[in-house]
Structure 1
Amino acid sequence: MKNLFLIGGSMSLLLMTSCNSSDENSGSNATVNVRLTDGPAAYTAVNIDIQKIEINTNGGWTTLNFPKPGVYNLLNFKNGTDVILGQAELPEGKVSQMRMVLGSNNSIVVNGTTYPLQTPSALQSGLKFNWNQTLSANGAYTVWIDFDAGRSVVAMGNNSYILKPVIRAFSELTNGQIKGYVLPQAAKASVHAIMASDTIATAIPNPDGFFMLSGLPQGNYTVSYDAAGNTGYVDESTNNVSVTFGKVSDLGTKTLHQ
C-alpha cells in the first residue's frame, strides 16, 4: 500500500512537472498575424497566386498557418484595406526575414483583357524580404505584407508582362500613416509621400477621393497631389507633414483647381 502511494505520488509529480514545462514553453511564444495589403497600379486586376508564407527566426523557418492559399487580386487591398492571410506561433527573439512562395496561376487584367503574368521560376521556390522585429514572450503582433502591384509588374511590349515583386513588410510598431481626400474625381490624381527627394509611398485614391499611405518611416514628408496630365487640373502639395508611429496624420480634403 505504501509502495502504491509512493508510485502514485511520483506519477502526480511527473504530470505536474510535465504540465509546468509545457506551460513554460507555450508562455515563451509570441503570436504573429500576417495580413496582405497593396500599393496602387493602373490595371484592372493583378492576380497573384500565393501558396505559402514562412517566417525566419533564430530557430529557422516557420510556416504560416495559411488556410486559403490561392489567387489574390492585389488591387482589392489598397488605401488601408487588407486581408488576413494567417497566423504563426513563434518563439520569443529576433525575426529577420519572411518568404513568400508563389504558384504559377498569376495574371493581369488590362482594359478588360486577361494576360498571363510571367513569373521567374525562382519566385516559386520562395521570394525573401526583410522583416526585422524582436518578439516578446506572450506578445501579439500584426505584420502587413505590402505587395506593390504598380512597381512589381513590368510591361515587356506585345501584351507581355513579367512579375518582379517589390515587397516590404511592416508591423503596427513601424506603421506611420497619412490619410485624407483629394477632389475632384475628374482630376484623376495620384498621391505621393516624399521624404527629402525620395518617394516613399504612392496611393491612387478611391472613387470618393479617399487615400491612405501606410508603412511610412517616422519623419517629415511632403505630400504631393499629382493630377493626370490630360485633365487640366493643377498639381498641389502639402509640406511638413509629420509622421509618428501609432498615429494617423489626417490631412483632411485637398481640392485641386484648373
Structure 2
Amino acid sequence: MKYLKNVSIRAVMIAILVSAGFVSCSDDDSEDNNGSANLTVRMTDAPGDYDAVFVDVKDIKIQIETEGESNVDGEIDSEGWMSLSNVNAGIYDLLELTGGVSQLLADTEVPAGYVSQMRLILGSENSVVINGATKPLNTPSAQQSGLKLQLNKKLEAGENYSFLLDFDVDQSIVTTGNGGYNLKPVIRLNAEENAGMVVGKTIIPAGLEMNVQSLVKLQNSSVTISAYTDAEGNFALNGVPAGTYDLTITPQVSSGLTVYSMTDVKVKPNETTDLGEIEL
C-alpha cells in the first residue's frame, strides 16, 4: 500500500473547493467578455494499491458548438474539436492525487456554446510501479484519439465552469496475458452542479507507534467516492453530489484496527461537510 507524502489537506481546501464539482458563477457582464466562458479542469484519483501510477498528459480537447463571435484563440476543426490553451502537460503520479489533492490541468477561456464531449489525450510515457519495479503501461486508445468523456453542458458567456477528472486506478490498470499492463482509463467526469465536499481527520490510538493510512469510502445506492488519508490522517472526498451517504474507514491491515462506519452523512449543495476528528 502506498503512503502519501505529508500534504496538509486543510491547507489546500480553498484551492480545490472550486473543483469539487461543477461551478457556475454569473457576473452579468456578458457584454465585456466577448462571448467567452472560463473553463477549469483538474485531475484527482480514487485510490489504488500500487507504489505509483504515472500518466503522461499531453492535451485536453472539447467538442463545442459555438454561439456567435468570440475573442478566444484556438482552431476548431470540422467536427467541432478544439484544444484548450495553456494545458499543463506533464507526467503525474496519480497516487499523489488522493486524500483531496488535485492537479490543475487547465484554466483558460473558451468560446461560449454547447460542449458535448471532453477528450483527455495521453502520451506514451505511462507506467506503474509495483513492489519497487517500474512497468510500462500501454495506452493504445488514449494515444490515438484521446479518451472521450461525455459532458453535455451549455457554457454561458461570462460564467466560470470547473470540472474534475476523477481517475479510478484499480479499474484503469489491466493485466495482460504476457505479464504486461495496459492503461484503460476509467474516469468519473464530475460535472455535478451544486456538488459538495466531505472532509475529516482520522485519529489513531495514542499507544500505536506507526503511521496508519486508511481507505475512506462514501457510498449510497448510486454513487461511490473514495480516497486515502494523508500522512496526518486528513481526508477529503470532493465532487460529491448532494444526498445522504454511508461512510466507511478501513485502516491498513498491519495496524490491527477495525473498520469504522458512519451512516446518514448528509451532503448539501455547494457546502463542505466537516466530520471533524474520528477516532479509530
> Quick check: TM above 0.5?
yes
Q: Alignment identity in percent?
A: 38
- TM-score scaled by length of structure 1: 0.80
Using the TM superposition, give the Cα deviation of residue 129 of structure 1 relative to its aligned residue in structure 2, in angstroms: 0.9
5+ unaligned residues in a row in structure 2: which ranges? 1-29, 67-79, 205-209
Does residue 45 of the first structure (1) align with residue 52 of the second (2)?
yes
Does residue 32 of the first structure (1) align with residue 39 of the second (2)?
yes
Q: In the TM superposition, what are the counterparts of 1:91-240 in structure 2 within 5 Å? A: 91-121=111-141, 123-156=143-176, 160-171=180-191, 173-184=193-204, 188-196=213-221, 200-240=224-264
Using the TM superposition, give the Cα deviation of residue 186 of structure 1 relative to its aligned residue in structure 2, in angstroms: 5.4
Per the alignment, do residues 231 and 155 of structure 1 end up closer, same or farther by CA in structure 2, a change over 3 Å counting? Answer: farther
Residue equivalent to 1:76: 96
**How far, CA to CA, are the matches of 1:229 and 1:37 in structure 2?**
25
Q: Deviations over 1:1-37 (max 9, x none)?
A: xxxxxxxxxxxxxxxxxxxxxx969522111122222
Residue equivalent to 1:19: none
Give the one of 244, 247, 251 matched to 2:275.
251
Using the TM superposition, give the Cα deviation of residue 183 of structure 1 relative to its aligned residue in structure 2, in angstroms: 3.0
Could you tell me whether the CA contact under 8 Å between 2:55 and 2:126 is conserved in 1?
A: yes
Structure showing greater relative contact order (alpha-carbon pairs closer than 8 Å, 6 or more residues apart): 2
5+ unaligned residues in a row in structure 1: which ranges? 1-22
Could you tell me whether the CA contact under 8 Å between 2:64 and 2:116 is conserved in 1?
A: yes
Using the TM superposition, give the Cα deviation of residue 247 of structure 1 relative to its aligned residue in structure 2, in angstroms: 0.5
- TM-score scaled by length of structure 2: 0.74
Quick check: which has more Rg, 1 or 2?
Answer: 1
Residue equivalent to 1:57: 64
**How far, CA to CA, are the matches of 2:128 and 2:185 in structure 1?**
14
Could you tell me whether the CA contact under 8 Å between 1:38 and 1:147 is conserved in 2?
A: yes
**How far, CA to CA, are the matches of 2:46 and 2:137 in structure 1?**
18
SS in 2 for 1:254: strand
Could you tell me whether the CA contact under 8 Å between 1:130 and 1:168 is conserved in 2?
A: no
Q: Deviations over 1:202-251 (max 9, x none)?
A: 11111111111111211100011123345432212111111122101111
**How far, CA to CA, are the matches of 2:273 and 2:147 in structure 1?**
32
More helix by share: 1
**How far, CA to CA, are the matches of 2:41 and 2:214 in structure 1?**
30
| Counterpart residue identity of residue 64, structure 1 | L
Using the TM superposition, give the Cα deviation of residue 119 of structure 1 relative to its aligned residue in structure 2, in angstroms: 1.5
Could you tell me whether the CA contact under 8 Å between 2:192 and 2:241 is conserved in 1?
A: no
- The 10-residue stretch of structure 1 (126-135 or 236-245) with the greater mean CA deviation from structure 2: 126-135
Per the alignment, do residues 31 and 186 of structure 1 end up closer, same or farther by CA in structure 2, a change over 3 Å counting? Answer: closer
- The 10-residue stretch of structure 1 (247-256 or 166-175) with the greater mean CA deviation from structure 2: 166-175
Using the TM superposition, give the Cα deviation of residue 174 of structure 1 relative to its aligned residue in structure 2, in angstroms: 4.2
